Structure formats: C-alpha cells, structure tokens
C-alpha cells in the first residue's frame, strides 16, 4: 500500500509531524470510521472522519469524531449560512481528488473552508484519513487546525 499521498506530502513539506497507519479497509461496513478505530485499537472519539457538504452553495469540509453525527443545521449556522446539505459522492470525489472512504481534509484538489468539531481540542493527537482508503495519519489537533486554517466549532448533533 502506497503511503505517499498528497496529504502526507503536504504535511511533510510544511514540516508538520504526523504518523502514518495502514489498516484493512472494508467498504462493507456501516461506519468506516468506527471500523478503522477498531482496526487500530483506538477510541472512536479520536478517529475523525472527513465529510463534504454545501452551505448556501459554498463547499465546506467538516471533520468530526467517527462516533458522532454532523448537524447540518449547526454547520450552516457556524458558516453564517441558512441551508446545509451533504455533497453527492461524485462531487465530493471530484472536489477533493480522493475516493470516498479515503477523503482527507489535507491537500484537497479544490480546497474549501474547513471546520473541525470542537471535540478535537480534547485530544493530544487525532487520527484522520490520509487520502487513501485504509491509510490514516495521526496529528496534533493544533497542527491540523493551523495547517488547514480551520476553526473548532459546535457542528455535531447533541
């Protein structure tokens, strides 16, 4: 399995410390994030999934814990918009340059505004997709937020 994804290369170029972890990816599970957390033996709250959405026709990247659900209402409010909806799979793959199940917020082909769930601040390191199915990176939340010019926000369902 190749470990040289665009996400890893971008973080390397920026001098941001991160680890790389491979696991056996399965498309047949309901929650790929929870399956990845189990495969690596980490708490689901530390495994973050990358979701692509639209807020008032503007692309937004939401990064939330794998054991949480995105609140579209809260996402719209945090972005100063009125309406949010999930992006279609084909469009998410086109915009990000990654396949669903392997979408990383790092080094997307068409960057967009990124919001992290506020829970990211509870951890010293989190796991996020590295841009390939079955490949994760671990990174300090402060480094991820700074690199992506992202903000922590209340975007998960209660």
Domains and CATH numbers, the chain: 6-153 (3.90.960.10)
Distance between CA atoms of residues 40 and 118, nearest Å? 23
pLDDT by residue (tens digit) across 52-76? Answer: 999 999 999 999 999 999 999 999 9
Question: Residue 149 pLDDT > 90, yes or no?
Answer: yes
Mean pLDDT (the chain, rounded): 93
Q: In the prediction, which pLDDT does 2 show? A: 47
- Global pTM reads 0.94
In degrees and rounded to multiples of 5, residue 112 shows phi and psi of -140, 170
């Amino acid at each position: 399995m190749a470990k040289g994804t665009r996400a890893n290369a971008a973080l390397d170029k920026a001098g941001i410390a991160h680890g790389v972890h491979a696991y056996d990816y399965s498309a047949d599970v309901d929650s790929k994030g929870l399956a990845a957390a189990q495969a690596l033996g980490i708490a689901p709250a530390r495994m973050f999934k990358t979701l692509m959405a639209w807020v008032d026709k503007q692309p937004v990247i939401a990064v939330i814990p794998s054991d949480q659900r995105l609140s579209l209402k809260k996402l719209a409010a945090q972005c100063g918009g009125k309406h949010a909806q999930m992006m279609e799979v084909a469009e998410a793959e086109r915009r990000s340059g990654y396949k669903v199940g392997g979408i990383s917020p790092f080094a997307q082909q068409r960057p967009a505004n990124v919001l992290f769930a506020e829970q990211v601040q509870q951890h010293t390191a989190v796991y996020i997709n590295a841009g390939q199915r079955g490949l994760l990176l671990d990174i300090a939340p402060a480094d991820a937020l700074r690199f992506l010019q992202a903000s922590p926000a209340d975007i998960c369902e209660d």
